[in-house]
Structure 1
Amino acid sequence: MSTYRISQLAEISGVPATTLRFYETAGLLSAERTASGYRVYGDEAVERLGFISSAKHLGLPLEEIGDLLEVWEQGVCASVRQRMLPMVTDRIGDADNRIAELTAFSAYLAGVRADLSEPAPDGACGPDCGCLTAPATSTTPAPVPLTLERRPEPAPGLSWRDVPVACTLSGDEYGERAQQWQQVLDSATGREEIDDGLRVRFPSDPNLVAEVARLAAAEQGCCAFFDFTLHLSPDALALTVRAPETAHALLAELFGAKV
């Protein structure tokens, strides 16, 4: 049986050493200690990390991954599949709900665009010009601003600021994610520095809204210390992102925050 120091395991698995320590703290990974106090891992750790990475690609939170690992350790695939099936079903439901919300809002925006394409009335804006939100009726209710929140769930008595600062992405994955954020941030119409973070505003383009929501959800999955709030109204999308003080450097690197 082979043994690996934490740096060797990080190289083999593609998981940063900081994340390996975080997994150990979260109870997802265990290590033996040498007489000198160094962490050492066996071949089982490599297989375990592969399973964790696979589960994360399904959007499963670490708590559910921990439950799955308890079943996986028994070595019976049928039991793992049985436990995983309802988890994946729940993720499908979450995705379908987001799609339904965004589809409804996209249809509303299409109606507004059609109104704005008509000849403009003389004078100032009025209730029928298309620039103002139409009042609700029995057949066309006014859209409700869409607020999506992705918050970590720390232990009782702790806040999101107490979540360990550790990213579960490999170096290549982190670089790709940073590039995706930069592409989205290039479309921002404004930004505001706030305590522990920043607020960025975007146009309410359906495709852009969907991409920002996807990235925020993905980022929360790999970096639970980030606190995301997305507020969607008929004319704009506001993304608020905060991080604890120990993660301010990463906040600045990914989002350009001056904290």
Structure 2
Amino acid sequence: MRISELAERTGVPATTLRYYEDAGLLPAGRTPAGYRTYGDEAVRRLAFIGAGKHLGLSLDEIRELLPAWQDGTCAQVAAGLRPRVAARLADAERRAAGLHDFVVLLRAALARLDALPERPGPCGDDCAAVDEPAPVACSLTGGMAGRAGEWRRAIGDARAERAPGGVRVTLPAGRAAEVAGLAAAERECCPFLDFRLHFDGPDVHLDVRAPAGAAPIVDALFVG
């Protein structure tokens, strides 16, 4: 088939098909007049290239995998894909945790802005937007920012409710060791946070208390 036919059949623009040929991803035959020609295998090859791109692989990585895809076994292709997909997953999880931390920061900032007094004149020392900056700095420099994803995984679908000065999270007792370790690590970075565990039969209650300035961060992490 000609390049226009392959483009119509696969939805890949002709300009991209030419680029793939130059990049060593999609070989093409030539007619005596110099027109590109492709066999049916080109359709399957483009599907594999598209799948690799959806997984976040670079064209160089896809090119490295193509010989196994063309001449090897399914197990060989899977063995080549596995470490690359695992690396993309780890990177995506890191970026997701960072994005969650940014959401926490923005929620805290909005809460402080909503609490600003409506008055004329410049902002004074009692302005909520600039009061107690330490908790926010902590959340950006290795406290919650480094462990927000771990907290979310540990808490999962646990019940959370507001309590005096903070929140109470009720979890299965089997998670006590994990949340205790996270709480200890959090205290090293953010000593203004107070964590207490109370065992209650099959459950354990995690009480988290914080100063008023850090309350929006605690709510965002543990209440959502």
- Flag structure 1 segments of 5+ consecutive residues without an equivalent: 145-259
Sequence identity (%): 49
State the Cα distance separating 1:125 from its structure 2 match.
1.6
C-alpha change, 1:80 and 1:128, in structure 2 (3 Å) is: farther
Count of residue correspondences? 140
**So what's the TM-score if we normalise by structure 2?**
0.57
CA distance in 2, matches of 1:53, 1:139: 42
Partner-residue secondary structure (3-state), 2:138 = coil
Cα deviations by residue, 1:128-171 (Å, 9 ceiling, x for unpaired): 42445964x38843747xxxxxxxxxxxxxxxxxxxxxxxxxxx
Q: Judging changes above 3 Å, is the alpha-carbon distance between structure 1 residues 116 and 41 closer, same or farther for their aligned structure 2 residues?
A: same
SS of equivalent to 1:42:
coil
| Structure 1 residue runs of 4 or more that deviate by more than 3 Å after TM superposition | 130-135, 137-140
Q: Flag the structure with more relative contact order, 1 or 2, with Cα contacts below 8 A and sequence separation at least 6.
A: 1
User: Is the contact made by 2:116 and 2:129 (CA closer than 8 Å) also made in structure 1?
Assistant: no
Question: Of residues 105, 109, 112 in structure 2, which corresponds to 1:108?
Answer: 105
Residue 77 of structure 1 corresponds to 74
How far does residue 87 in structure 1 lie from its aligned partner after superposition? 0.8
Contact 1:71 1:79 in 2 (8 A): yes
Alpha-carbon separation, structure 1, partners of 2:102 and 2:127: 20
Whichever residue aligns with residue 28 of structure 1, its letter is L
Corresponding residue of 2:22: 25
Among 141, 158, 163, the alignment partner of 2:138 is: 141
Structure with max Cα Rg:
2
Q: CA deviation at 1:7?
A: 0.6
- Taking a change above 3 Å as real, the CA distance of residues 81 and 117 of structure 1, as seen in their structure-2 partners, is same
Q: Distance in 1 between matches of 2:125 and 2:94?
A: 32
SS of the counterpart of 1:100?
helix
The letter of the residue matching 1:88 is: V
Residue equivalent to 2:32: 35
Q: What is the TM-score when the length of structure 1 is the normalising length?
A: 0.49
Q: Indicate if the aligned counterparts of 1:32 and 1:40 stay in contact, CA closer than 8 A.
A: yes
Which is richer in helix? 2
Q: How does 1:150-161 map to 2 (within 5 A)?
A: none
Aligned twin of 2:127: 129
Q: Aligned partners of 1:138, 1:119: CA distance in 2, in Å?
A: 18
Indicate conservation of the 8 Å contact 1:116/1:130, yes or no: yes
TM-superposition CA deviations, 1:45-84 (whole Å, max 9, x none): 1110111111111121111111111211124100000110
Q: Distance in 1 between matches of 2:117 and 2:29?
A: 73
